[in-house]
Chain A
């Protein structure tokens, strides 16, 4: 009896997990600061990829510039570290050249929404089959902690010493409006939930956008007077979000100012590469 119980638990939690088979060991330890959520997201991503069953050669991981965009340097897939904000353009090229590859774009909130905002909306509009993981830490960590397009109002950053007065983007709402066929949100705190969300996003055919809220203890945490990494994770990721399944049961005042977690939007739309191939075949037959 106890034997079966252990097996069930292992299947549910999927740890201890051998991360080394997907990592480049000579590149570790990584450069992220102590307590940075990007490492937790990377681990969830590796477990999700393992669950999908794709081999390392079938995955292509592409990133732009930024803290989160260092991710492809540590993983042993086909990887590209490209221009700031232009990861999605490179990814579109890769997917178009070889539609059999599973393309995963790892990007930060500034990289995806400010510098590459244009590429982001047009990728969503085309519905090309790729997974876009936007790591939202509301900070430009690599350049010294400036505020980003997702920094909440009144956030203190090196470029907003008296509090941010710019209203932030909602990544998921924007992706939905631009036409992405799978939109979800997760946090580094809810790591098992994130693993499932990322797995579903990778398996979905079409543009899947996953907004992952993770904490930057070095800049965001210190400037906004959070006592520790754990305090920051508790406030921003645990108390600042509500699972979409629980949201219906809660009164509206409890949802105020909170982000919804989980699968937010999923539709079936024609995928770009498939449409293009159909068109080519149709025209070739007509000749």
Chain B
């Protein structure tokens, strides 16, 4: 386990574009995201595995995962 394993990803959420469909929350395999009101928010960044499913399935261009 080097330093690379500890490095957290960066999840960028565009709250103006998010319509709150909760696709990203439901498809996230490690429950990183949660719904906060009508938009999505990051709950547990440490659990993110960078699988990008939220990014790929977001219909609104509202979420992106960077290394």
Contact = CB atoms under 8 A, between A and B. Distances in A.
Interface in A55-109: none
Given A15-B52, A39-B61, A192-B56, A34 B20 contact: yes
Contacts of B67: 6
A43 B63 CA distance: 12
Contacts, number: 72
A228 B35 CA distance: 14
Given A2-B4, A35-B21, A228-B26, A16 B55 contact: yes
B58 interface: yes
Contacts of A126: none
Interface residues of B, number: 24
Given A34-B20, A217-B21, A229-B21, A40 B59 contact: yes
B41 interface: no
A32 B59 CA distance: 9
A40 B57 CA distance: 6
Contacts of A228: 22, 26
Contact of A191 (B19, B22, B57, B61): B57
- Residue with the greatest number of chain A CB neighbours at <10 A, chosen from B4, B17, B57, B59: B59
B64 interface: yes
Q: 4 closest Cβ contacts across the A-B interface?
A: A39-B59, A35-B21, A34-B21, A34-B19
